Structure 1
Amino acid sequence: MKMFIQNIVSMVLVLSAINAAAQHEHHQPAQVQAPKTIKPVEKKTEAAKTAEGKTVVYHLYVNDTLVNYTGKARKAIAINGSIPAPALHFTEGDTAEIHVHNLMKMETSIHWHGLIVPNQYDGVPYLTTAPIKAGQTHIYKFPLVQNGTYWYHSHTELQEQSGMYGALIIHKRNEPAMKEHTIVLSDWTNEKPAEVHRRLHNATDWYAIKKKSTQDYGQAIKEGYLKTKFVNEWKRMLAMDVSDVYYDKLFINGHDSTAQTGFKAGEKIKLRIINGSASTYFWLNFAGGKLEVVANDGKDVEPVQVDRMIIAVSETYDVIVQLPENKSFEFLATAEDRTKSASLWLGDGVKVNAKPLPRLKYFEGMMMMNGMMKMNGDMDDMGMNMSNQVMDMNMVMYPEISGQPEHKHKKEPEKALEHIVTLNYGMLRATEKTNLPDAPTKVLHFELTGNMNRYVWSINNKTVSETDKILIKKGENVKIVMTNNTMMRHPMHLHGHFFRVLNGQGDYAPLKNVLDIMPMETDTLEFAATESGDWFFHCHILYHMMSGMGRIFSYENAAPNDGIPANVVLTNPEKAIRKIYKDDRALHFMANVGLESNGSDGEAMLNNTRYRLQTEWRIGTNKMMGYESESHFGRYIGKMQFLMPYVGWDMRYRMVNGEPGKANTKDNRQVFCAGIEYMLPLLIRADARIDSKGKLRFQLMREDVAITSRLRLNFMVNSDKEYMAGFRYIITKYMALSTHYDSDMGFGAGIALNY
């Protein structure tokens, strides 16, 4: 009878959720509501009763939806009709049984971030777990052997950016009585995530324009940093930035401003904070006073009080705050680039605002990076030994710390805030010893590599698809010495394990599963190899991971899942691994087309991490009657990819004084060619080639010189006595006004279309 009742309850829950999902499909485009509370079904087996645990069952329905956060309806992905997805609550010792129903027309997946689970339930499609195909249901069932604040998200393509993320809380068996509130931070773009990824790979400046952070020559002159700008480009660097993407909205639990009432003066509140964003770091501060950090990545630490902290992409923190008065105090989460923020108001009554963070001093950051960057693109640490965020090199960009004037011409410097205590990893101390067992140690050296010019991210200059799996043995310890040789922070996440961060706390080194490593830092982490199967290690900035910054650890001496039945869908490992490698091998298309009074010129390009297929053309209607087209296929060489050998062909037919040009000249030829393109200082591309007729040509060109935020200069000159110079004024991300003079086509003006 008892089992019958339990089955009826389960059926009612499933039918109710399906009906809700179906009704949601017929709603008009509107903002998705705040996370809904779903009541789990609890089942107790005899074994569970003995262990004082229970089986907690959730049903998650994944479906496409429409949202409207900015006045424009956009496609998104919701779980049970909610973005963020519903928070899942368990108690340590429970068994989780989670039924994921894919109602979409594409495959999906769920990764349980930070959870120690059997390998087949880790949720990385084609690596540990079968993808959940359209219309299918996948059941995850695993014991919960830990407690703390965690989260879950899709690990399929770019679905996480579209809304597939939610909180997962595992309570202690004897949780101390305290009010608590879960915060899920996230970012939202009205662009399709695939379009964001494509634009990043094509080095568009549109996001910098939207952020007002182009650091153009006009701004450099105005603020007294012309030399800094010149040196920056002399060292072949793009403008300084601390994040990649411009976001339309930042959210706390699906809202840019939300409130939690019912708290009184003197009460302490535990905030379970999860950074579920795709690529945004958040600064956190509280109008009511200090932040008391008591846990990180689900693991308790000795309490430490700070004025503010930064939370990396995918990290979690437990923080205790206290209301000093019976008012409503702002908990403020600000993007690292300080373009936007989201607020949570705690308490009732008059609102007390947190102090907003001022605009970054980009040229100060550029000056700092100029001093740290070598001409070959490597970082020069100048003898510094930095680790664990103890020295934040970006501090020169923070007006509230540096107190430096915004402009060099400004006479009175801004007043700096004194004694701001900022959290760093060196402050984290575990509440109990975390020493690894005595065992042989495998030492690995990882150098985080890549460049913003082509948006390539790698480890030891190789992407996931360019390397073999790293073999480790069950029973050994693994130590990773990791150096960040890029200009970006990277939140490196290890699946299925906790690692110790060697931060000077000795036996009490904190346990984490995400390490935020800053530029120029060298950090050391170590973990006990206690599992089996394959486990992903990757940067958790979504677009960095998809571009190749990761590795796969593979246990070589343990049976798959140690007796747990293998995932029968992954029976073809060769085919499965090709699916994994497909991510960073993806091709990205771009095109520029000029439509001007003297004709049309343009360029189209298809590129990936190492290769580029490019074609350019000119069609004259004024001074030059005719056409020319030149195409190249090449491979980028070197860590910074300054060098590209190529092969190609050149076809042209032009009328000169009303007559066809002579054959085998620059006016009339069809030839094959081979050459080398090299990036010179000032981002000038030098091109030397020889064609099948034995003719040599040398060419210099530069595109997109930022005169002002939207005004750009292009120029080209070569040994065939051809030359060109022109301007573009950017109107939208796809269109610009343009004008240029071409030695063959003459002067023209019109528009330029960009994709």
Structure 2
Amino acid sequence: MKKKKQIAVKLFLPFLLLFGFLANAQKVTEYDLYVTDTLVNYTGKNVKAIAINGTIPGPELHFTEGDTAVIRVHNNAKHETSIHWHGLLLPNEQDGVPYLTTAPIKSNTVHTYKFPLKQSGTYWYHSHTMLQEQSGMYGAFIIHKKDEPKIPEYVMLLSDWSDENPHEIERSLHKETDWYAIKKGATQNYGEALVKGHLGTKFINEFKRMHAMDVSDVYYDRFFANGVKEQEISGLKAGDKVRVRIINGSSSSYFWLNYAGGKMAVVASDGAEVEPVEVDRFIIGVSETYDVIVTIPEGNISYELMATSEDRMGHASLWLGDGDKKRIEPMGRLDYFAGMKMMNDMMTVGGNMKDMGMKMSLQKMDMNSVMYPELKKEDKHEHHMEMEGDMKMDMDKKDMSGHEHHMEMDMEKKNMSAHEHHMEMDKDKGKLVTLNYNMLKSPVKTTLPDKPFRTLNFELTGNMNRYVWTVNNKTISETDKILIKAGENIRIVITNNSMMRHPMHLHGHYFRVVNQYGEYSPLKNVIDVMPMETDVIEFNASEEYGDWFFHCHILYHMMSGMGRIFSYEDSPPNPQLPDKASALKKVYNDDRRYFLSADIGLESNGSDGEVRLENTRNFADLEWRLGYDNESGYETEAHIGRYLDNKQFLSVYTGWDFRYRKSDEAETNLFGQTSTKDKRVVACLGVVYVLPWFVETDLRVDYEGKVRLQFTREDIPLTSRLRLWGSWNTDYEYNVGSRYILTKYWSLSAHYDSDMGLGGGIAFTY
């Protein structure tokens, strides 16, 4: 009998071992994603878009920590595409940046992604090909813990939508049009300045060569949560706690989050857990994620969780609960002239920030708060002074050189945590508790391995005039990859020397956002760097191989070149990109592209216009002035040139000028030389410099030694749609004119020209 038992054990032992192996093996979770071109109609107009599995956004992908994800992407569209798994720690070739880490997915092909899930939390996925994300290619990627608490949870995936083709949006931004400001009612024109008592503010603003104040670049037709303006969640009862996974999947919009049921407890950011911190509201940067837990205070009431675009132009809502709706009061329009006045005080005539002795970091001092109507007027100055004095962060100079990191908090109550400090402000003074990065604390230590740091200094720089965005005044294609060694500690000191927020995202890694909690500083993969801030992030180069993108996640900033590429030394060849040099050229081509613009007048006295082609640094243009008779004559000029300085106020060019006008008189110019304004065929060299008030000064000399100096001011905003312009040169040619903007491309126009006389008609602006 004993022998039979031994035989039975021997027979069943392999089966027991196999069962144990299968029980502990990683679960494979599979999805098939089908990418198709489609039409959508959100505003009464059919518009081209890109759908995943027939929907925008794409389907929510749910996994459990420890799973192996297998995702087959079927590209049934007419163009190549890609999918990037935002925030995930995965093998380099699975990261999904076409031509940098992963092969692009060609039309009518299938690409399989396969990677283990080493983390849990709230993430998302989106196309990293050109501007496809703006057209609908994004979705939620949720990784659950194995022992996740069983409470109701929902995804709130935020997005922005424009009926306009994204490529036309991008071209328009480079054109320097303010059509989107017209749509928003945010031109801050001279007429409005006069009425509101800010005429001096406007004069100073243009003297310093700054355009009208805005907090976002694009006018959007709709804002969505999970693809709809409002979504209702039923079946909740009084006392229920609900986890909402909030993802900002927009292309370029920040959102304010407010909850009608009271405080929100922030419990995670970018997928990483933080100690719960209760706030009244917070702003979520482009591509960030936050997990919040909210409570349903009473039954038979539906509470609004509202996401409002930072420019206050629209919102989307999630309704939690059943019954009568408890709404959030809409956020009021921004006081742009207050923001303009603040900006005037902080910027130099050269377009740089003044050294005002303030060390701002971690979102603790929101410079835009002067524009927020929800803050009482009498509190705005006090609000800034408190934040500057009570929450001042000093970074020891040693830290900037990569040695010791020293954080010194000078708070009114030094033994008080940032959270307690804000709560007391709220209780005692009735202030809103607004989340900032200094309030986030990791539940576990996040210190890096005990080894030296290599420090990199990144200055975020930009040029709103021509919409060029850079790091250290260079685009991605203008710099080499940043080589890093596997296992080394990297510290990045990021200073924002622009008046725009920049959500900087690091692929494939978490970094520490160094704050008051030191060893417990929070982990994130996106940091929203506000204007005039300096923030410090740290990460360990633990992924061992490959190229990893670090870039601004505002889509149009990234495409203009705001980023860098980290590259591990001695990385093995990427089998998906056998021709590495050719692939890298395609990556660099993104910020080297040329954009076409045109400005053409068709009036009763003639036609004048310009067609221009330009990229980050170079330009080529063709100009003409054509009268309808011999006395008016005609002129055509062509130039090629290059912008020289960081703000691109200075440029040089060479070209030719052909001019003919019937005249029997020989005239001299301002310099005593014989004027060639009636007849010339010359090659010339010139330099253009933009003076205060955006007066363009053009000094040129032709091959005969003749000199001409010309002053031009275009697009003086008298009202939102009525614009003035004029020019004069040392050949005593001049013109003045006006336009009334009807649509993005068409205007009524009138002007007087010293050669062509008075005329009126229409103008086409592209």
What TM-score, normalized to structure 1? 0.90
3-state SS in 1 of match to 2:316? strand
Partners of 1:380 and 1:255 in 2: how far apart? 43
| 1:378 counterpart = 2:352 | yes
What residue number does 1:729 align with?
Answer: 740
What residue number does 1:275 align with?
Answer: 248
What residue number does 1:147 align with?
Answer: 120
3-state SS in 2 of match to 1:354? coil
Q: CA deviation at 1:259?
A: 1.1
| 1:527 counterpart = 2:539 | yes
What residue number does 1:579 align with?
Answer: 586
Q: CA deviation at 1:49?
A: 3.0
Partners of 2:21 and 2:631 in 1: how far apart? 83
Q: Which runs of structure 2 are paired with 1:530-545 in the superposition (5 Å)?
A: 530-531=542-543, 532-545=545-558
What residue number does 2:561 align with?
Answer: 548
Aligned counterpart in structure 1 of residue 304 of structure 2, from 330, 337, 347 = 330
1:154-198 CA-to-partner distances (Å, cap 9, x unmatched) read 000000000000000000000011000101000000000000000
What residue number does 2:409 align with?
Answer: none
| 1:289 counterpart = 2:265 | no
Partners of 2:628 and 2:720 in 1: how far apart? 32
3-state SS in 1 of match to 2:81? coil
Q: Does the C-alpha gap of structure 1 residues 173 and 231 become closer, same or farther in structure 2, counting only changes over 3 Å?
A: same
| 1:679 counterpart = 2:690 | yes
Please tell me the residue identity of whatever aligns with 2:482: I
Aligned counterpart in structure 1 of residue 475 of structure 2, from 463, 472, 477 = 463
3-state SS in 2 of match to 1:263? coil
1:421-474 CA-to-partner distances (Å, cap 9, x unmatched) read 000000000011001011231110000011100101000000000000000000
Kept in 2, the 8 Å contact 1:447–1:483? The answer is: yes
Task: Figure out how many residues of one structure are paired with residues of the other and give that number.
Answer: 694
Please tell me the residue identity of whatever aligns with 2:105: I
Aligned counterpart in structure 1 of residue 207 of structure 2, from 234, 243, 255 = 234
Q: Which runs of structure 2 are paired with 1:692-731 in the superposition (5 Å)?
A: 692-731=703-742
User: What runs of 5+ residues in structure 2 fail to find an aligned partner?
Assistant: 1-17, 381-428, 669-673
What residue number does 2:423 align with?
Answer: none
Kept in 2, the 8 Å contact 1:664–1:670? The answer is: no
Partners of 1:658 and 1:472 in 2: how far apart? 70
Partners of 2:171 and 2:733 in 1: how far apart? 32
Q: Does the C-alpha gap of structure 1 residues 405 and 475 become closer, same or farther in structure 2, counting only changes over 3 Å?
A: closer
Partners of 2:483 and 2:507 in 1: how far apart? 15
What residue number does 2:155 align with?
Answer: 182
Kept in 2, the 8 Å contact 1:51–1:93? The answer is: no
Kept in 2, the 8 Å contact 1:48–1:55? The answer is: no
Aligned counterpart in structure 1 of residue 313 of structure 2, from 330, 339, 343 = 339
Q: CA deviation at 1:624?
A: 3.6
What residue number does 2:170 align with?
Answer: 197
Partners of 1:593 and 1:367 in 2: how far apart? 35
Worse overlay, 631-640 or 289-298: 631-640
3-state SS in 2 of match to 1:196? helix
Q: Does the C-alpha gap of structure 1 residues 695 and 305 become closer, same or farther in structure 2, counting only changes over 3 Å?
A: same
Q: Which runs of structure 2 are paired with 1:503-514 in the superposition (5 Å)?
A: 503-514=515-526
Q: CA deviation at 1:655?
A: 2.4
Q: CA deviation at 1:331?
A: 0.9
Worse overlay, 541-550 or 640-649: 640-649
3-state SS in 2 of match to 1:377? coil
3-state SS in 2 of match to 1:605? strand
Partners of 1:525 and 1:313 in 2: how far apart? 18
1:581-619 CA-to-partner distances (Å, cap 9, x unmatched) read 000001010001101000111111101100111121111
| 1:651 counterpart = 2:658 | yes
| 1:306 counterpart = 2:279 | yes
Partners of 2:23 and 2:612 in 1: how far apart? 64
Please tell me the residue identity of whatever aligns with 1:380: K
Kept in 1, the 8 Å contact 2:675–2:731? The answer is: no
What residue number does 1:616 align with?
Answer: 623
Q: CA deviation at 1:658?
A: 12
Q: CA deviation at 1:723?
A: 0.3
Q: Which runs of structure 2 are paired with 1:45-444 in the superposition (5 Å)?
A: 49=22, 51-326=24-299, 327-403=301-377, 418-444=430-456
What residue number does 2:638 align with?
Answer: 631
Kept in 2, the 8 Å contact 1:395–1:402? The answer is: no
Compute the RMSD of aligned alpha carbons. 1.8
Partners of 1:47 and 1:244 in 2: how far apart? 57
Please tell me the residue identity of whatever aligns with 1:460: N
Q: CA deviation at 1:657?
A: 7.3
What residue number does 2:7 align with?
Answer: none
1:364-410 CA-to-partner distances (Å, cap 9, x unmatched) read 0001111111121111240000000011111101111142699xxxx
Q: Does the C-alpha gap of structure 1 residues 725 and 59 become closer, same or farther in structure 2, counting only changes over 3 Å?
A: same
Partners of 1:330 and 1:153 in 2: how far apart? 27
Please tell me the residue identity of whatever aligns with 2:722: L
| 1:642 counterpart = 2:655 | no
Q: Percent identity?
A: 62
1:181-226 CA-to-partner distances (Å, cap 9, x unmatched) read 1010000000000000000001001000000000000000000001
User: What runs of 5+ residues in structure 1 fail to find an aligned partner?
Assistant: 1-44, 407-416, 561-565
Q: CA deviation at 1:504?
A: 1.2
3-state SS in 1 of match to 2:60? strand
3-state SS in 1 of match to 2:59? strand
Q: Does the C-alpha gap of structure 1 residues 206 and 135 become closer, same or farther in structure 2, counting only changes over 3 Å?
A: same
| 1:597 counterpart = 2:596 | no
Q: CA deviation at 1:116?
A: 0.1
3-state SS in 2 of match to 1:380? coil
| 1:744 counterpart = 2:755 | yes
Partners of 1:475 and 1:166 in 2: how far apart? 32
3-state SS in 2 of match to 1:655? coil
3-state SS in 2 of match to 1:292? strand
Kept in 2, the 8 Å contact 1:439–1:475? The answer is: no
What residue number does 2:679 align with?
Answer: 668
Partners of 1:625 and 1:481 in 2: how far apart? 59
Partners of 1:235 and 1:279 in 2: how far apart? 26
Q: CA deviation at 1:258?
A: 1.7
What TM-score, normalized to structure 2? 0.89
Kept in 2, the 8 Å contact 1:587–1:606? The answer is: yes
Q: CA deviation at 1:665?
A: 2.3
Please tell me the residue identity of whatever aligns with 2:351: G
Select the structure of larger CA radius of gyration.
Answer: 2
Partners of 1:94 and 1:331 in 2: how far apart? 32
What residue number does 1:482 align with?
Answer: 494
